[in-house]
Amino acid sequence: MISSEILSWETALCYVFLYVSVLCLWVPYRIRIPVWSIAFSIACIFGLLSNQIEWYAIFIIVLIVYVLHYTERKRAPLLGRVIAGVIVLLMAYALGAHKIPYFHNLKVLSDVYISKESIPFTLYINFDKTIVGLFILGLTQRLVSNKDEWSTMFKQTSPKAIMFIAILVLCALIAGKVHFDPKLPACSPIWVITNLLLVCTAEEAFFRGFIQEKLAQILQRYEWGNVIAVIIAALLFGFAHYAGGIAYSIWGTFAGLGYGLIYQKTRRIESSILMHFCLNLTHFLFFTYPALA
C-alpha cells in the first residue's frame, strides 16, 4: 500500500529539492556556484529541520566532497589519490547499503504488489544513496550541456540500448526469471522519477563514472585496460545487488557489462544512465516486478 506516513512541509521540501538538485546537474549555469549545489544545500536545510538527516550527516557530506575533490587533483601524490579513492568506495558502499545511521530515508511505498505473481515491493526515497551520485557527477564528470550533444548521445545510445535490452529480456524470459505482465500501476509517477533521478543516476555515477573511469585511467597503459575496467565495475555492480540473491547478482553483472560498454563507447555517463533506466522501465511496465514470488 501507499505509505500512510504524513509528511510535514519541511519533509516534502527536503525531497523536492533533492530531486531538483539532481535535475540541476544538467542546467547550464554561468554563476560561480553551481545551481545543483544550491538546490542540494536547501534540501539539507529542510532535511535537518524535518529530521530526515542529522547534523552528523553534514560531516559525512563534507568528507565525501573533500575526498572526491582530492581524487581529481592531478598534482596530488598518487598514493594520496588512491587512498582518497578507497575512502570514496567505502563511503559509497556504506551509504548505498544504508549503513550510516544519520540519514532517515522516506518510505513512499510499503509492501505493494506491482504484479500478481510478484513479491511485495517497498520504495524509499534515499537521501544517503543519492548524494554519492550527485557529487560524483557534479564534481568529476563533464555532462551533456547543449542540444547538439544530447542529440548525438541519443543517436549513439538508442540502437545499442534497444538491442541490449531485447537480448537481456529474452534471456530472462527463457530462464523463467520473469513473466510477461503488461501494466500501468498507480505508483508509476513516483517510481519513474525516483528510479531515473535517484537510483539509475546514482548507481551509474558511482559504478561507471567513478569506478570504471578511475580503473580505466589506472590501466590505460595496458592493451586490455578498458575491458578490464568494464568487467571489474560490472562485477562490483553485481555484487552490490547480492541482497536479492545470487541469481539477481548474476543478472546485475550482465546488465553492468552492458552499461559499462555503452559508457566506454560514448564517453557519456548519460548513455549508461538512460540504458539503465530504460531496462528498469521495461521490466516495471511489461514484466513481473520486482521478481517472481
Tell me the C-alpha distance between 125 and 15, whole Å.
8
pLDDT for the residue numbered 75: 86
In the chain, where are the structural domains located?
9-286
Q: What is the pTM of this model?
A: 0.93
pLDDT for the residue numbered 89: 93
- Please name the residue that has the C-alpha cell 515491493: 121
Computed over every residue of the chain, the mean pLDDT equals 92
Tell me the C-alpha distance between 63 and 108, whole Å.
29
pLDDT for the residue numbered 73: 87
Phi, psi of 108 (to 5 degrees): -110, -20
Give the list of residues 6+ apart from residue 109 with CB closer than 8 angstroms, or none. Answer: 1, 2, 3, 121, 122, 123, 187, 190, 191
Cell of 122: 517497498
Tell me the C-alpha distance between 192 and 184, whole Å.
11
- Please name the residue that has the C-alpha cell 505482465: 181
pLDDT for the residue numbered 245: 78
What's the pLDDT tens digit per position in 37-65?
A: 999 999 999 999 999 999 999 999 999 99
CA-based Rg of the chain, rounded to a whole angstrom?
Answer: 19
**Ranges of the chain with pLDDT below 50:** 2, 4
